Structure 1
Amino acid sequence: MSLDLPQVAPAVTAELVQGLTPRLRKRLDAGITKLAGRPSVRDGDTVRIAVDDDTHLELHAPGGTVTTTDAIRCGCLLAPDCLHRAAAASAAPIADSEPEPGCGSGSGSGSGSQSMPDAVPASVGEDAPASANEPISASTRSASPAESDTLTPDQRAAAQAMYDAAAAVLEAGADGAGAVLQAELLRAAHTARISGLPRIAASAVSVVTQLRAARCADPAYRLTDLTATLREVLGTAHRLPGSTGPELAALRGTARQPYSPDGSLRLYGLFSEPVLTATGYAGAVTWASDAEGRLHTVSDVVPGGPGRAVGAADRAVRIGDTALTHRELSRAGLAVSGATVSPTGRLGAGAGVRAVRASGAAWREDPLAGLWALPVADQVSRALTGGDGLLFLDVILTGTVREAAGDCLLADCDGLTLRLAAAHDHPALLYRDNLRLLAAAPGTRLRVVARLDPSPLPRALLLAADHPRDPGAHLDLGLDRLQHADLPAPAMAPVGSPPAPDEAPLHLLRRRVHQAASAGRRVLAFPGDSATDSRRLGRYGFACAGGLLDELRSAAADRSRDVFGRLVPADVNRFAHAWLAAAHYTEEVDRSLCAAAWGADPALSPSPSP
């Protein structure tokens, strides 16, 4: 959208679309497109759009968010039940009081999924802004009705409504999921949030945001991210009714991460990374370690675009009275008293927290050097069993290899051929430019920080590296520009491309999962013989995958007729179940193949951190 619109609460959009007549609903998508070409003016908290020469539309957003339907006013004759109000709400960014891009998503922010996937670090956006973070006592948490051991009737109804809305989106695919289906999903998200299911509510909002990005050809859109988030929504809604105890608590999620007191901390900065998500959040996250190797984060992520992702690194961190910027903290230290920490290691910034600048440490000095001492297989096991996803590796650059998303670096890591890809593709961030320069220096030895990218081949997203000519310094590859003068003379490196790996043909099932998310059930209902693909999967030992593929195609093509020969509505529930089973299977197999490629065992607990 070219309009500069304020954020609109999901419930407002859902209510306005619900109030349209069936005739106007059919015209809603065209109305959104037409509205995008109209001139608009922002005056403080009010945005005015000239619908035509005689009609104006106003959005009032105190604090930057439209929270009631009355805040959107139109001067046309059909108001308040007009198309213009619903179109404006559907075109505006979605407001979310708790930015949670990392829920189920799979980091990623970029070429694949940044471990979460539009990939955002798990520590980003899990809770309210840092300035509001205060310790939440156990007694306060247990008093909440959302903490009961079984699902309440309201939550059960909300989960079913969410499943139905997500199944309808899957039936239509991103190509057919227009504003009406998006509004139904937003309504389900609002119902889930007020009934105490914040995890699935946040994931549903993320699905709508990605659907909008797909339909307007936003370059930040990634089909893999939409598929992963839609699987998260359907899977969570499917599992909620039968869950109890700790599993139910995890599926419910938390609207705000609890922060517990952690006394005094002495932290050493590791690196900073810019954050830019497809769900509309931007900023920076700085990682630090204490003397025992425990990782902590300080984040500044709010709604914004590429400019904020780049500029946030030069903003002061919001903790205590320190004047350190994120860029400075990544190379310095921090002494914190009265610290509060979330379960994922994010530092709180409550009124009782005090922090002052302290000396830092180089990566090859204690205590940071201990992070690289842990065996790589144990690090991968930690990442696959719910860790932060970070890998601390010593590598030798050996060349490049071409992938569908572009070239990536090849590196030798203790005898393992590793692929290092850019953590984000956006041109405002420097990841890809820096990777191109590093590719011109084969034979260079580097100590790097990367984020595991689960795939059948050893692959990671490169976040930071020590300076090629100064091992005592490091570069945050999304923020610091590498120069040709920084590169050493090329050393001898293996000549030629690596042999093509003998991969299991799991893509035969994965691409059908992605096709359904993109184009809906109809794309899999076209006449064709899937038996060849099923037999090929069976020859590689993936008989289960072949059966899932057959069921997916069968569910998509299952259309019966009534006694008059008319097509009856498709069984949306059967198709959603078949798709969910196939999506979950491919994710779990990818995880197992990733562990095997790295020589790790995700079922075992990793060795203690250094």
Structure 2
Amino acid sequence: MSTQGLPPVAPDVTADIVEALTPRLRKRLDAAIGKLLACPIEHDGDTVRITVGEDAELTLYIPTGAVTTTADLRCSCLLAPACVHRAAAAAAAPVAEPQAPDETDTPNTSDAPDTTEPAEPAATTAESPTPAEPTPAERAAADALWTAGAAIVDAGVDGAGAVLQAGLLRAAHTARLAGLHRAAAAAVTVATGLRAARDRDPAYRLADLVAAMRELLDVAHALRTPAAAYPQSLELLRGTSRRAYAAAGSLRLYGLFTEPVLTARGFAGAVTTTVDPAGTLRTIGDVAPGGADRAIGAATRAIRLGDTSIDPVALTRAGLVVSGATVSANGRLGAGQAVRAARASGAAWTDEPLRALWETPLSAQIDRIVGHRDLPPDDRPAGADLLFLDVTVLGTTTGARDRLLAECAGQSVHLLVAHADPAFAYRDNLRLLADRPGLRLRVVGRLEPGADRAIRALAVGVAPGEGPTLRLAEDRLGRIDLGLERLHRADLPAADPTPSVTGAAEEPPPAPLYLMHRHVERAISGGRPVLALAGSTAGDSARLRRVGLATGALLVERLTHVAAGRERDVFGRLRAGDNDLLSAAWLAAAVYAQTVEGALTRAVWSTEG
């Protein structure tokens, strides 16, 4: 059984059940989770049953689709309710979202229960002006988040078992009650990322977990710091409990591309990005708990928008006329009862208004992406991380079949697999494209920050102008979604035995910023023990100083020094380290690496000089 067979469990329920365990049972919890995942599971309406032994059965009641109280999770063993079986099920299950389903993800939200937890009086109203400083409840919640996050930095993925995860979920629940929705969301993302890492989930990426931990500690640190010493506003640090939708009047939308969604938090589906005549990107999709099968199925499952239904793959090449539209701040379309929509014709990528996306100067596109990286994920506008490029295929990168090398505006560009799950067609499509050096493509990709000019390719299409390009059927409207559709050799021009590719620049030498990332990621992966055993950092520090990153060198040295700086007691045993110092040193290095990476990304994508 995989964790996808378990229903979601509210974070406070998981924390309550784990905290009720005796110290002896807490030590056995991680092993119990492994055994539980091998047990048979049975779904029967609003009830889920798991046979965990000859005389023990777990019963999970989910009338709202999730376990929301400790009474909803019962066990028939003699040690219940303080048994390891209940704790293992709660700790292994996906984390339940505490808010109502998103309007664009589940169009029938009018019938869905509202599970949003009420905010404490710290939430502002029209009668109570927003205070300039965090309230005592908010500071206490921020302290709890910092402490829980610091414990995970100290332990690393290998040591952050179910008990530490439960502590983080408890802090997230407390923060949400205090109105700190941004930090609570980051904490849940960290907890889910830790589970994905320990379960070896293919959707897990260490860089994503590092980003979530940086967000968690950065926001918690800011809320514990005097407002005048921190650049972000208190309102931005608090975040919002749910996405608000505002009236947008009438819209004419053109489908751009569709991508499958499969996250480490256990959500899956498909999202279509559309464009209006002004070039504004908006999204509509179907995302809910599930796995890769659900992501693929959602691509061809009809989505209702007002009185019209259309599946995401069809919308890729079609259009919509919407009246009474509602749109969230990040560009997601709502599906309220007042919305009216009608299917309309689409447009090719080489026609207006889609063509303008590729005509935007590359420097402006990079500035847009880097400028939005510091915003919370839910506040970033739709398509904030997308690049629109015209490229010429050169082949595969040496030693990497899944890394296609191309040329764009005289520079080398790497096209990467957008998602590694084998259920998606990304890898097979890129390998097929790499067999046609000289092939010209129009590409939509998600920027991969760094020094080697890389994007995760999401869709490709026919390139304008002269030269070999794709030969797609007319009904494909000159484009294909790389994750959901498969290219065939008939879609490619005949292979040229001696392709002529000009203007390709040599690949730049690797930038030493990866040395910073290596230490930051090593801390999250292995915790204090790995950092303390990493040995001397003199070589890395010297390389960073040689390229002018003296501050980065100092931060790497401090991180390693703090990790190794543990005293011994009279018996020679190592004392516990100072988690606050270690987390502060890690946060400084992580924020510095992200900031320099943004500047470096601008520099390596520059077409000047």
TM-score of the superposed pair, with normalisation by structure 1: 0.88
Q: Which residue of 2 aligns with 1:316?
A: 302
User: Which residue of 1 is the match for residue 395 of structure 2?
Assistant: 399
Please state if 1:522 is matched with 2:529: yes
Alpha-carbon distance in structure 2 between the residues aligned to 1:435 and 1:144: 57
For 1:190 and 1:25, the matched residues in 2 are separated by 21
Deviations 1:100-155 (A, max 9, x none): 9xxxxxxxxxxxxxxxxxxxxxxxx7987454499xxxxx9854979544312111
Query: Aligned partner of 2:191: which letter?
Result: V
Aligned partner letter, 1:308: R
Matches of 1:600 and 1:99, distance apart in 2: 45
CA deviation vs aligned residue, 1:318-362 (integer Å, no higher than 9, x gap): 311112211111111100101111111111111111111111111
1:261–1:341 Cα contact (<8 Å) kept:
yes
Alignment partner of 1:318: what SS?
strand
Q: 1:487 aligns with which of 489, 492, 496?
A: 492
Cα distance in 2, alignment partners of residues 217 and 368 from structure 1: 39
- What residue identity is the alignment partner of 1:9? A
Aligned equivalents of 2:129, 2:354: Cα separation in 1: 40
* Segment of structure 1 superposing worse, 467-476 or 582-591: 467-476
The 5 A counterparts of 1:501-512 are 501-512=508-519
In structure 1, what is the equivalent of residue 332 of structure 2? Answer: 346
Query: Relative to 1, partners in 2 of residues 1:193 and 1:495: Cα closer, same or farther, differing over 3 Å?
Result: same
What pairs up with 1:154-553 in 2 under 5 angstroms?
154-242=137-225, 243=227, 247-386=233-372, 388-402=384-398, 407-467=402-462, 468-470=470-472, 472-491=477-496, 492-494=499-501, 499-526=506-533, 528-553=535-560
Quote the RMSD (CA, aligned, Å): 2.6
> Equivalents in 2 of 1:71, 1:182: separation in Å?
21
> Could you tell me how far apart the structure 1 residues matched to 2:186 and 2:34 are?
26
| CA displacement, residues 295-331 of structure 1 (integer Å, 9 cap, x when unaligned) | 1111211111101111111122231111221111111
Tell me whether 1:591 sits opposite 2:587 in the alignment: no
Specify the SS of the correspondent of 1:329.
helix
Number of aligned residues: 571
- Contact 2:402-2:417 within 8 A present in 1 as well: no
Assess, with a 3 A threshold, how the Cα gap between structure 1 residues 527 and 592 changes in structure 2: closer, same or farther.
Answer: closer
Q: Can you list the C-alpha shifts for 1:139-198, whole angstroms capped at 9, x where unaligned?
A: x98549795443121111111100100110111100011110000001011111111111
Equivalent of 1:568 in 547, 556, 575: 575
Deviation at 1:566, TM superposition (A): 4.9
Separation in structure 2 between the aligned mates of residue 335 and residue 30 of structure 1, nearest angstrom: 54
447 and 202 in structure 1: CA distance in 2 versus 1, 3 angstrom threshold: same
Asked if the contact 2:186/2:212 (under 8 Å) is kept, the reply is: yes
Deviations 1:457-514 (A, max 9, x none): 2211111111411494211111111001110023414499974522332222221211
Question: Equivalents in 2 of 1:211, 1:251: separation in Å?
Answer: 24
Q: Distance in 1 between matches of 2:348 and 2:319?
A: 11
Cα-to-partner distance string for 1:423-472 (whole Å, 9 max, x where unaligned): 11111111111111111111111212112111112211111111411494
Structure 1 residues 71-150: aligned runs within 5 Å: 71-98=72-99, 129-132=106-109, 142-143=125-126, 148-150=131-133
Identity percentage over the alignment? 54
Question: Equivalent residues in 2 for 1:33-52 (5 A)?
Answer: 33-52=34-53
8 Å CA contact 2:412–2:504 kept in 1: the answer is: no
Q: CA deviation at 1:532?
A: 2.5
> Counterparts of 2:303 and 2:54 in 1: how far apart (Å)?
48
Partner of 1:117: none
* Structure 2 SS opposite 1:73: strand
* 2:413/2:453 contact within 8 Å kept: yes
What do residues 387-428 of structure 1 show as CA deviations (whole Å, max 9, x unaligned)? Answer: 611122112112221477x53122222222211112111111
Could you tell me which runs of 5 or more consecutive residues in structure 1 were left unpaired when the two chains were aligned: 101-124, 135-139, 602-610
The answer to whether the aligner puts 1:151 opposite 2:134 as a matched pair is yes
Give the AA of the match of 1:478: G
Q: Identify which range, 286-295 or 487-496, moves more after superposition.
A: 487-496
Q: Deviations over 1:544-563 (max 9, x none)?
A: 11111110111001112356
**Matched residue SS, 2:53:** coil
SS of alignment partner, residue 536 of structure 2: coil
Q: Structure 2 CA distance, aligned partners of 1:478 and 1:527? A: 39
Question: Residue by residue, what CA displacement relative to the aligned partner does 1:191-217 show, whole Å, maximum 9, x if unpaired?
Answer: 111111111111111111111121122
Write out aligned runs for 1:50-65 (5 A). 50-65=51-66
Secondary structure, aligned partner of 2:490: helix
Q: Alignment partner of 1:466: what SS?
A: strand
**SS at structure 2 position matched to 1:80:** coil
Q: Is the 8 A contact 2:445 2:455 kept in 1?
A: yes
Which deviates more, 29-38 or 353-362?
29-38
String of CA shifts for 1:207-248, please: whole Å, max 9, x gaps.
111111211222222211111111111111111233479622
State the match for 2:589 in structure 1: 582
SS class of match (2:77):
coil
TM-score normalised by L of structure 2: 0.88
Structure 2, unmatched stretches of 5+, are 112-122, 373-380, 463-469
Quick one: distance in 2 between partners of 1:448 and 1:38? 45
Q: Which moved more, 1:317-326 or 1:492-501?
A: 492-501
Whether the 8 Å CA contact 1:380–1:600 is kept in 2: the answer is: no
Q: Distance in 1 between matches of 2:502 and 2:246?
A: 53
Structure 1 314/583 Cα, relative in aligned 2: closer, same or farther at 3 Å? same
Q: Which moved more, 1:496-505 or 1:85-94?
A: 496-505
Residues 1:500 and 1:362: Cα distance change in structure 2 (over 3 Å): closer
Structure 1 counterpart of 2:163, which letter? V
> CA 1:379 to 1:262, structure 2 compared with 1: closer, same or farther past 3 Å?
same
Distance 1:54 1:133, change over 3 A: closer
**Counterpart-to-counterpart distance in 2, 1:195 and 1:234:** 17
| Alignment correspondent of 1:554 | 561
